[in-house]
Structure 1
């Protein structure tokens, strides 16, 4: 492989994927972003992924996968997005889990990587501050990497690599890393609900705000309301 090593980065438009995009670029990869229009309940994330790709000047491929036809998730079906306390988020797998989503996305990302002559895929999954999804755990990525290495021509020759650099970082540590890398977090979107402002109530909003609090910074995007712990944090910062 001549020149820079190519890498495919899964870019959802969220906080984690934007940090991983910046991380892969900082490591000298020739980055090719891939975003999935999978029938999610709103297109706000897709707009953010477009903005981020433009900001960094990277190619972005959009793949359409109809997971709405499968359903059984609050992100693809007519199921209410739950509101839980921060303390109970990882207690059980929530209805926002999309069946086999990362497995589907990684398989397609591997096909794209192989077409580029690349063996590297980057994904912004995290197993510390997360909603308990089974396809975000280290053992899952190890098994998936092995499957993709066995199931692709380039993998058989060189091995396929799923890079999960944020895997063991807290949200606060992820944001701290992102700020060092200059990630434009004002362009990102994490909320499970669509709208002009993030809801401030869903799992993703709570974890995101907790991360900015731990990083000693303020989230630059707008919210409909803040949870009590973040309201207290903002008041303390003004003292």
Structure 2
């Protein structure tokens, strides 16, 4: 049986996916979350995600797709011996890019959702304020949406509520949803595995903290 008012959120426990989780709770009567292990250095994010989902009374499941980490030896998020790019190289993607990650996540999420009769998928990707990852683009999501529908002869809808929001606008959305403090103090966005404001110097922390500063300054006007 299809549940038109149900959604499955790709959930990592970070700022973006946590904001999306509560966005989904506002827009759908039934929400579930799926988290992925993909060989990432910091398994703490799984426990952070599990706790946030539990506190939000959202069913939570973890899928192991760690095979991804065996396919590319150049990613600093899955290989501890590789120094992390602090800036995007001029002629390539930063080595924090995990090739195919969002494609794999959404594909497995769709298979899982179908088994539950869920056909709305929610992901926190954004092309407005990102680190140069090609699988965060709207064109990619739209293409994959069509492919999933053709592959399974279903009508999935992939929702990307953050697609056109920069980080300050993501903070604003979390505030509008009433979870600004939760996102600020309980989420894990940092590439070095530090909860809340993070290490302060990795690319994810810089993006998050600059967005927070911009939003607080704008809100104060």
The answer, yes or no, to whether TM exceeds 0.5 is yes
**Alpha-carbon shift at residue 63 of structure 1 (Å):** 0.3
Deviation beyond 4 Å, 4+ runs, structure 1: 1-4, 88-92
8 Å CA contact 1:5–1:29 kept in 2: the answer is yes
Q: Secondary structure at the match of 2:158?
A: strand
**Corresponding residue number in structure 2 for 1:117:** 117
Scaled by the length of structure 2, the TM-score of the pair is 0.89
8 Å CA contact 2:3–2:118 kept in 1: the answer is no
**Alpha-carbon shift at residue 39 of structure 1 (Å):** 0.9
8 Å CA contact 1:32–1:58 kept in 2: the answer is yes
What is the aligned counterpart of 1:176 among 172, 176, 187? 172
The count of residues paired between Structure 1 and Structure 2 equals: 211
1:10 aligns with 2:2: no
**Corresponding residue number in structure 2 for 1:191:** 190
How do 1:139-150 residues align onto structure 2 when only pairs under 5 Å count? 139-150=139-150
**Alpha-carbon shift at residue 195 of structure 1 (Å):** 4.6
Unaligned runs of 5+ in 1: 218-236
**Corresponding residue number in structure 2 for 1:83:** 86
Residues 73 and 49 (structure 1 numbering): CA distance in 2 closer, same or farther, change over 3 Å? same
- CA deviations 1:52-83 (Å, max 9, x no partner) are 10120100010011122223211111311122
**Corresponding residue number in structure 1 for 2:70:** 69
Unaligned runs of 5+ in 2: none
8 Å CA contact 2:7–2:28 kept in 1: the answer is no
Farther off after superposition, 200-209 or 73-82: 73-82
**Alpha-carbon shift at residue 93 of structure 1 (Å):** 1.6
**1: CA distance, partners of 2:134 / 2:160:** 15
- Which structure is larger by alpha-carbon Rg, 1 or 2? 1
- CA deviations 1:147-206 (Å, max 9, x no partner) are 0010114x1xxx111100110001101111101212211110111112577221111000
Residues 6 and 90 (structure 1 numbering): CA distance in 2 closer, same or farther, change over 3 Å? farther
Residues 117 and 2 (structure 1 numbering): CA distance in 2 closer, same or farther, change over 3 Å? closer
